[in-house]
Amino acid sequence: MYKKGIFVATSFAVVTGLVTFFSGTTASKAADIDANKLYQTHCKTCHGADGKTTELGAGLGARDFTDPNWQAKATDEQIIKQINDGTPEKMMPFKEKLSQDEIKALLPVVRGFGKK
Ligand code: HEC
């Protein structure tokens, strides 16, 4: 239990470090929108910091963003729509919380988890 806690804390630190590293080097095109930060703030509780569904997310029925089958099937429109509208009792809608530009900026973040 104690050891597992350390492991989880360590892997979280590694992932956070990687995300910080990559967002610093690659994702600076959309000027003032930090999409990786938006993702880490609003999405990771269910979809995981690295796109791998958390226990909470899986319990609610969320798919793994790192799954190539899911990536191949999901269209950009579906992803944008899902973030806007959510699913009742599963995922809250974000259209009131985030701007359309922010929602669009999250698309490459979600897609990015599929590219390994
Ligand atoms: C409270 C947990 C929760 C949060 C927070 C959350 N989601 Fe979801 N999300 C889900 C669940 C559950 C589903 C599956 C919904 C369904 O089956 O219709 C889902 C579905 C999705 C899907 C469609 C793929 C799939 O798994 O079915 C996308 C894309 C998505 N979420 C993106 C996001 C983004 C981006 C954010 C942050 C802005 C976010 N979600 C925040 C729970 C969450």
pLDDT of 30 higher than 50: no
Q: Which domains does the chain have, with CATH numbers?
A: 35-116 (1.10.760.10)
Residue 104 Cβ contacting ligand 1 at under 6 Å: no
Atom of ligand 1 nearest to the CA of 63: 26
Higher pLDDT, 23 or 59: 59
Question: Average pLDDT in the 64-75 region?
Answer: 96
Residue-wise pLDDT for 47-62, tens only, equals 999 999 999 999 999 9
Residue nearest to atom 1 of ligand 1 (CA): 91
Please say if the pLDDT value at position 82 is more than 70. Answer: yes
Say how far apart CA 67 and CA 53 lie, in whole Å. Answer: 10
Question: Which letter does DSSP use for residue 29 in this model?
Answer: S
105 Cα–ligand 1 center, Å: 15
Which has more confidence, 22 or 4?
A: 4
Rounded to 5 degrees, φ, ψ at 87 are -135, 125
pTM comes to: 0.80
Q: Is residue 105 in contact with ligand 1, taking CB distance under 6 Å?
A: no
Range of weakest confidence among 31-40, 43-52, 80-89, 97-106: 31-40
Token pair, residue 112, equals 């990015």
Q: Which ligand 1 atom lies nearest to the CA of residue 42?
A: 37
Helix axes 100-112, 35-42, angle to 10 degrees: 90
- Residue 43 Cβ inside 6 Å of ligand 1? The answer reads yes
In the chain, which ranges are continuous DSSP H helix? 2-25, 35-42, 44-47, 55-60, 68-73, 76-85, 100-112
If we measure between CA atoms, which residue out of 101, 57, 54, 108 comes closest to residue 79? 108
Closest to 27 in 3D by CA, of 82, 98, 109, 100: 109
- Summarize pLDDT for 31-45 with one digit per residue, the tens: 689 999 999 999 999
> Quick one: which H or E segment has residue 96?
none
Q: Judge if the beta carbon of residue 100 lies within 6 A of ligand 1.
A: no
